[in-house]
Structure 1
């Protein structure tokens, strides 16, 4: 029982929930980036402090500039999307202040969840008529599978990077050998040329 409790605690630290709060200056934007794997559900919950006459928009894009979620003049709400491929995803909050206003700083809070933590296990447990302990075990099972998949992806990326490094090292080695051969050939040619030149000028025998 104690071992099971320890596993629960360790897995709880791996839940993919991010909470951040910052101040957004008038007529500026703040962007947050994160790398995510393919087919990962993402949900976000935001809240913007009130500022009369000012507007804040948000937009979620990938590295190719595709818009995944967008909303103008926000105050409080949620957004969700699924990642289409392994990529860097960016969410930007943009402040707009009319030219005739000075503008004030607005406080923005953002909570993002992705992967297993986006699932509603309360609703799932009621639909499947699961006991609380069964529902928690189902959540831990999904979380364990997600961790195993992440490790598998990391191992695959490590192998790809190792192969790339080995290929690069081989190319550098061959290029270095080729460069040394060229330098030795050039040096030999210079010695022979100078020897013939000095002999022609009768400076050496």
Structure 2
């Protein structure tokens, strides 16, 4: 039983959709501000939990703002003057990439060189759910809850593969449609050139005859 539990945990680690990232973001004057964004893809109606842990403290001359939005215009949350651990959860509205953007504003009168360290965790789908709470509520055994997690992760992978298949089909259809249009355009150009050449021959023949050259 323990071996099965460890194997299940290892499989979950391999299938995990969570991402973790550490980086520093330098403080910049407001007029030179360039947000730093981390992008992830998410399917429609998928739970996402974003956890950002920042160094520093309020009043240290830096103001870090966090903004979450996707590439189709949906906005999922914004936190101003974030310090310590900040946690934001949302359910996606569309199949699209979403950005977690950080901006670090340097306070007036402060010199350049200040920075905040950021540790970012993005949990998507099954990884975003509170499995401990589910286990307690449904009184499930550890093996049962791990099987539930595996089932959800595999389901998400299947959905992702289906999305990629649909996207590949759409790209193939677009490519075939473009090829057809290019072919028709090439035929039209050839017919135009042939027609223009024939017109030039008749025009020159008529011109030379009018000048009694032929």
- Judge same fold: TM > 0.5, yes or no: yes
Q: Is the 8 A contact 1:56 1:94 kept in 2?
A: yes
CA distance in 1, matches of 2:26, 2:119: 14
CA shift for structure 1 position 146: 1.1
Tell me what 1:108 maps to: 118
Cα deviation, residue 64, structure 1: 4.5
Note the 1:13-24 alignment, pairs <5 A.
13-24=14-25
Alignment of 1:176 onto 2:186: yes
Contact 1:23-1:106 within 8 A present in 2 as well? yes
Q: Give the secondary structure class of the aligned counterpart of 1:157.
A: helix
Q: How many residues align?
A: 204
Q: Establish whether residue 122 from structure 1 lines up as the match of residue 128 from structure 2.
A: no
Structure 1 residues 135-144 or 43-52, which shifts more? 43-52
Is 1:132 the counterpart of 2:138? The answer is no
**Larger displacement relative to structure 2 (179-188 or 51-60):** 51-60
- Deviation per CA, 1:118-160: give whole Å up to 9, x if none: 1122221222222111111111111111111111111111111
Gaps of 5+ in 2: none
Using structure 2 for the length normalisation, give the TM-score: 0.86
Q: Which runs of 5+ in 1 are unaligned?
A: none
Flag as ranges the 4+ runs of structure 1 deviating above 6 A: 1-8
What is the CA distance between 1:38 and its match in structure 2? 0.9
TM-score (norm 1): 0.90
Q: Return closer, same or farther for 1:39/1:7 CA change in 2, 3 Å cut-off.
A: same
Q: Does 1:58 align with 2:66?
A: yes
Superposition RMSD in Å = 2.3
CA-CA distance at 1:15 after TM superposition: 1.1
Q: Among 62, 71, 81, which residue is 2:79 paired with? A: 71
